[in-house]
Amino acid sequence: MSVVSFLLFAFVTSFTPGPNNIMAMAFANQYGFKRTFKFCLGVGAGCFLILLACSSFNMLLGTYLPKVEFFMTIIGSAYMLYLAFQILKSKPGSKNDSNPKNISFTAGMMLQFINPKLILYGITVISTFILPYYASPASFLFFSLFLAFLGFLATILWAFFGAVFQKFLQQYRMQFNVLMALLLMYSAVSILV
């Protein structure tokens, strides 16, 4: 395995805009980093489960994925467009809102099961970089943990950016929301095309 190619692919895919990173940045901007952390943990847990499934069942997924890929793509893209719409219509939130349900651990984890970017990434990275060189359950577990942790770090970084520039972004909330919504729309359309 080319470790450099593997790491480049994993870093670029994890740190580029996608539903996880954009939502983490938007949530941290609105609710702060501390309250967004549980969403990021959920993203990491969901990434781990998806990557472990891709590792464990890559042959099975390779056989059946073409049959369901179209429907997963439509559902995932529709959800991303829904999230973009929610960002566009969002108003400045109250910091005292004790339990915004959309930034929970469960919401972060469940987002992964309809996140076409992660599913396609998992299938690609596992089948290209892992399966040709490793076959043990321990190696699948290790790489799934490593890649999920990398995804978690990317989400945390985007959330941190949203929190650090919170005052600036709140001053330009409408422009920020439009930009984030456009990035999500771009992600959804790029998956469909």
Structure tokens at 191: 């998956």
123 domain residue, yes or no: yes
22 domain residue, yes or no: no
Task: For residue 182, give its domain range.
Answer: 31-90+102-192
Mean pLDDT of the chain: 82
* Residue partners of 42: CB distance under 8 A and separation at least 6: 104, 105, 106, 107, 108, 109, 110, 111
- How far apart CA 140 and CA 119 sit, in angstroms, is 16
For the whole model, what pTM was predicted? 0.74
Average pLDDT over residues 159-165: 90
Give percent above pLDDT 70 in the chain.
Answer: 85
Whether the pLDDT of residue 155 is over 80: the answer is: yes
Tell me which residue has tokens 């469940």.
110
- How far apart CA 144 and CA 129 sit, in angstroms, is 12
36, 73, 77, 136 from 121: Cα distances, Å:
24, 13, 15, 21
Structure tokens at 176: 């920020």
Q: How many separate domains does the chain show? A: 1
pLDDT in tens, 101-137: 668 899 899 989 988 888 888 888 887 888 778 878 8
Highest mean pLDDT among 22-26, 115-119, 144-148: 144-148
1 domain residue, yes or no: no
Confidence of residue 30 (pLDDT cuts 50, 70, 90): confident
Residue 176's CB: how many other CB atoms inside 10 A? 20
24 domain residue, yes or no: no
126 domain residue, yes or no: yes
Structure tokens at 106: 């469960």
121 domain residue, yes or no: yes
64 domain residue, yes or no: yes
